Structure 1
Amino acid sequence: MAPLEKSKRLSTNMRYVILAFVFINIVINYMDRTNVSIAMPELSKEIGLSTVQQGLIFSAFGWIYAAMQIPGGILLDKFGSRIMYFISLFGWSLVTVFQAFISGFGQLMGLRLGVGFFEAPVMPANNRAISYWFPEDERGTAIGIYSSAQFLGLAFSTPILYGIHNSIGWRGLFVVTGVVGILWSIVWYIFYSDPDKSRFVGQDELKYIKAGGAITDDDLKNVDKHKVKLNSQNIKQLFSRRLIGIYIGQFAISGTFWFFLTWFPTYLTKAKHVNFLQSGFLSSIPYLAAFCGVILAGFISDQLIKKGRSASLARKAPVITGLLLTLLILGANFVSSPALIILFMSIAFFGNGLATITWVFVTALAPKHLIGLAGGIFNGCGALSSIVIPIVIGILVSNGNFSSALVFIAAIALLGALSYIFVVGKIELKD
């Protein structure tokens, strides 16, 4: 009997509720990452920020976010997704509220560093929760769905955030987005538990999850979670050739994303002279395209696995194809019509979404007791893009021309594709 057919007979399907919770977490997460880029035009005028300072503000989040990935991964392996996610979500949301009261560059810089500090465990915590709750043959779709939240959430929230900003200003924008996160963190803490501890999961669903290869506490019974040591053996496993390959790939994939998250609104308003409110709606179109790419990637990957195709083909094909599609961002350099520019941007971001299923490789390649730490390194490499991309693009566009910036994004995407083709190699699913 097919796993999906069997799952329909279960007394509970709590794993889908958990997936919905993770989805909402990510929507709030990325809403609080992008609000500063929406606020920046008015904010920079009010407190007197130069373009160099704006670039530093855009990248500040990534500095401590990247630095905290390994410590965050260690804490996640010790305390689990429930506690770490609550602390993280509550913390960054409170700091977001504080941003409404800044009066200068230093204050905003410090608070953006604070947001990065508290958000550091988020993506590894997402991956850990899904790895605990979903069997192997459903995990690709689950990861695809929760990964799509960053795009779908931004597609629909961006016009709303522009509207909030337009109605009550940038200070009100920070207050509203922060309060939403604080309230949701309480909901998460009350309702989330790992499967073995959940009061909402039926025994038949729990058995189904375990039998399908989901990670459980039983897998870690011989591992002292409070003493995850960085000995030579663990370090060697964390930096194997294939894991290094996905670390490079994550930097490349994140590069395109951070262009859209930071500089894309400025690209539309300054380079293409689109008015503020209209840019809010145009910005949402590539996010919708990326959302479609993520959903399609997860579906295709799981279907190939279920039809007996190799894991290497099923997992890598969407990623490599997506990275190559991202190269089409260069087409925007050769057209002047806003419609064509958005078309090329949407194709490129669709490719980026198609490639975003990469978290499945952490589960497939990392030792079970090091998934949190490997996920932290993996996410940290992606976080480097949030530092490098805004600053480099800021330098490249100092003359007002974005052409070289788009070439830079395409080159990074090509590097990622080559890494998955030649460095990662064959992927085998864990038994």
Structure 2
Amino acid sequence: MSVGSQRRFGLRWKIVTLFVGAMILNYLARSILSVAAPAILAEQSISSEQYGWITGAFQIGVMVQPLAGYFLDSAGLRMGFAVCVAVWSAITMGHAFVSGWFGFAALRGMLGIAEGSAQPAGQKLIAEWFPAKERGAAGGIYNIGASFGAVIAPPLVAWAVMVHSWRLAFVVAGLIGLIWAVIWYIHYNTPRRHRAITENELDYILAGQEERLVARAERPSFMTLAQRRELWGIALPRLLADPVWGMLSFWMPLYLARVRGFDLGQIALFAWLPFLAADLGCLFGPAVVAFLHRRGIHLIDARRWAFSLGALMMTGMAFVGLASNPYAAIALLCLGGFAHQTLSVTVITMASDLFARNEVATATGMAGAAGNLGVLVFSLMLGQMVDTVGYGPFFALLGVLDLVGAALLWILIRKPQ
């Protein structure tokens, strides 16, 4: 194969495509509960407030992302991520055998701890396998798996209910995850150790990576990383941005059922559309960055402009509660999914621009903990207040938070020399 072909279709793209499978399974496992929530809450006599605590337990678990990232930086992606996927798959299957809101909350907390490894693993992968100019595209591709997993969840739950019950959906997702973990362990390795990589592709990858981001002799502690303004520059925008994904992933099916009057069939028909739009956002954000970067704009500035564009589009989310037509509300939710992934992929990818190879997973985990703290606070507030004030104020809040996040991104991140 020619050098040009290897640049376009090299092994690294096959590796990131394999990782897409993990992201699909990650978000499928976490989305099944929200799609099945109308049936589960009715069957188990779980209140909105208790459901808020169930979703909150998951977010508390995911907030352990810094430890997950540290584990991956220490153990490496091959063994470390295979273990994480196997654990979350087993916990997913456990959902089929639990009852009561407390039992669900306990399992969701454990699931969050294991699933929190996905984003740190993704950033470590693209930091190791991709030159700087391709990291945005690679990050966009693997994040497609996140929204695609949520796309699969509604039809999977509808099928499971028709064949057996919602419990079958958890078992199927868990079994597929265990199979994927074995495949990952067999096929993955670092570029320098992978048997299938060519010398030309390895040289191409290494030549396109920044010297300042080579692995440091000593990996910095959590406190050392926390003192860097670059960490806060990506963490605070994620704190403000991620509640949108929490709304779409955990609360949208309940919103459609209770406010818009959708039954399970209608939810299966429409609830995946915002996640399909989110898939397009995963590609749009990196495309904007590449367009600006090719025209001489610094890579960091190009990412900030892409985030800002996503934040402007997110203001449409504020009008979901005001839409009189349910299909107009779904269209606005689709805009929200598209805008969120446009900006989310952009800020997540910045970790691989700013942190060394053996600290990028830890830094991504710390920023992810901030994002999931935002989801936790938002979910608990929504669970406490939704039955009295409705969903409208929460949609309005989501429409403006990312504008603040964009301002913080411009203020806190400094362009590396």
Report if TM-score (shorter chain) is over 0.5: yes
Change (3 A) 1:346 1:103: closer
Deviates more, 1:342-351 or 1:135-144: 342-351
Contact 2:234–2:348 at 8 Å: present in 1 too? no
Quote the residue 2:32 is aligned against: 35
Contact 2:157–2:166 at 8 Å: present in 1 too? no
Q: 2:366 aligned to 361, 372, 377, which one?
A: 377
Contact 1:319–1:356 at 8 Å: present in 2 too? yes
Q: 2:139 aligned to 127, 138, 143, which one?
A: 143
What secondary structure, in the 3-state scheme, does the structure 1 residue paired with 2:189 have? coil
Q: 1:110 aligned to 106, 110, 113, which one?
A: 106
- Provide TM-score, normalisation by structure 1: 0.90
Deviates more, 1:110-119 or 1:415-424: 415-424
Quote the residue 2:341 is aligned against: 353
Counterpart-to-counterpart distance in 1, 2:303 and 2:239: 18
Q: CA deviation at 1:18?
A: 0.6
Contact 1:256–1:413 at 8 Å: present in 2 too? no
Matched, 1:423 2:390: no
Q: 2:202 aligned to 197, 200, 206, which one?
A: 206
Counterpart-to-counterpart distance in 2, 1:104 and 1:53: 10
Q: 2:229 aligned to 236, 241, 263, which one?
A: 241
Q: 2:322 aligned to 330, 334, 341, which one?
A: 334
- The residue type equivalent to 1:322 in the other structure is G
What secondary structure, in the 3-state scheme, does the structure 2 residue paired with 1:178 have? helix
- Gap runs ≥5 in structure 2: none
Change (3 A) 1:89 1:332: same
- Gap runs ≥5 in structure 1: none
- Provide TM-score, normalisation by structure 2: 0.93
What secondary structure, in the 3-state scheme, does the structure 2 residue paired with 1:398 have? helix
Counterpart-to-counterpart distance in 1, 2:302 and 2:197: 30
How far does the alpha carbon of each residue in 1:27-78 deviate from its partner, in whole angstroms, 9 at most, with x for none? 0000001111122222222222222111111121111220x22222221111
Contact 2:257–2:267 at 8 Å: present in 1 too? yes
How many equivalent pairs are there?
415
Q: How does 1:20-419 map to 2 (within 5 A)?
A: 20-66=17-63, 68-213=64-209, 219-220=214-215, 223-224=217-218, 228-230=219-221, 235-357=223-345, 358-399=347-388, 401-419=390-408
Change (3 A) 1:215 1:383: farther
Q: CA deviation at 1:393?
A: 1.4
Q: Percent identity among equivalent residues?
A: 25
Change (3 A) 1:31 1:156: closer
Q: CA deviation at 1:214?
A: 7.0
What secondary structure, in the 3-state scheme, does the structure 2 residue paired with 1:195 have? coil
Q: CA deviation at 1:371?
A: 1.4
Q: CA deviation at 1:107?
A: 2.1
Contact 2:31–2:250 at 8 Å: present in 1 too? yes
Counterpart-to-counterpart distance in 1, 2:175 and 2:210: 34
Contact 1:322–1:352 at 8 Å: present in 2 too? yes
